[in-house]
Amino acid sequence: MDPALFHDRSYFEDQYRSDPDPWGFDSRWYEQRKYDLTLAALPDARYRRALEPGCANGALTERLASRCDQLVACELIDHVAASARRRLRDWSNVHVETAAFPDWQPDGTGDLVVWSEVAYYLTPEGFEQAVAQLECWLEPGGVLVAVHYTGNTNYPLGGNETHERIDDIDFLSHHSHLIDPMFRLDVWRRNRPLTLT
């Protein structure tokens, strides 16, 4: 992982060292409600192939799995990715990779990308790389959904700033928007053909 692209890896290692679920993915109402709203915001009933970077313990991944023919997720921390794989072992359509976002993405293309509280950890250089990868991976008519906490953080980007930057991506058209007192959720569709690499 290139440290110039992402928030300090040690931050995540420290979080998981003392708590297997440091953000309360499975216990906090904030997370459960956010997941419900994320699934409800997806404009299509089903997706052929989806990508979820930064899947953590797979709490959202498990919900997304029922809407996707194939779902590829990645998680930075080895033992957390292993936990997600155990959680999702009964879902034959899901594959969890141990990898860093945006250093890695799967081969091929897909029609759904979910950035759930991951893009605001990116440095400006990392965000630029993530957008370049998105342009090569997301199919015409495909969907990007992003949801981020909008309170104060020490991350490279704030939640609102992250979504404003996504709004400036010229190959995406804004589809829907939800503002909660604690987070922001937006959906975009790809509006032009794939960029050949």
- In this predicted structure, the answer to whether residue 137 has a pLDDT above a threshold of 70 is yes
- In this predicted structure, the answer to whether residue 100 has a pLDDT above a threshold of 80 is yes
- Per-residue pLDDT tens digits for 176-196: 999 999 999 999 999 988 765
Query: Could you tell me if 86 and 111 are in contact, meaning their C-beta atoms sit under 8 angstroms apart?
Result: no
The confidence score (pLDDT) of residue 166 equals 98
Read out DSSP for 5-73?
A: TBS-HHHHHHHHHH-SSTT-TTT-HHHHHHHHHHHHH-SSS-EEEEEEES-TTSHHHHHHHTTEEEEEE
**Distance, CA of 47 to CA of 17 (rounded, Å):** 35
The confidence score (pLDDT) of residue 20 equals 77
- In this predicted structure, the answer to whether residue 118 has a pLDDT above a threshold of 70 is yes
pLDDT: which is higher, 79 or 9: 79
The confidence score (pLDDT) of residue 7 equals 59
pLDDT: which is higher, 25 or 112: 112
- Per-residue pLDDT tens digits for 1-32: 455 556 567 767 777 677 777 677 888 999 99
Residue 149: φ, ψ to 5°? -60, 140
Closest by CA position to 139, among listed 73, 193, 64, 74? 193
Distances (CA, A) of 177 to 61, 116, 167, 180, 188: 21, 14, 11, 10, 9
At residue 114 the predicted structure's pLDDT band, cuts being 50, 70 and 90, is: very high
∠ Cα 18 19 22 (to 5°): 120
- Average pLDDT for 78-82: 93
Distances (CA, A) of 171 to 51, 134, 140, 148, 151: 18, 10, 9, 21, 28
Query: Could you tell me if 67 and 42 are in contact, meaning their C-beta atoms sit under 8 angstroms apart?
Result: yes
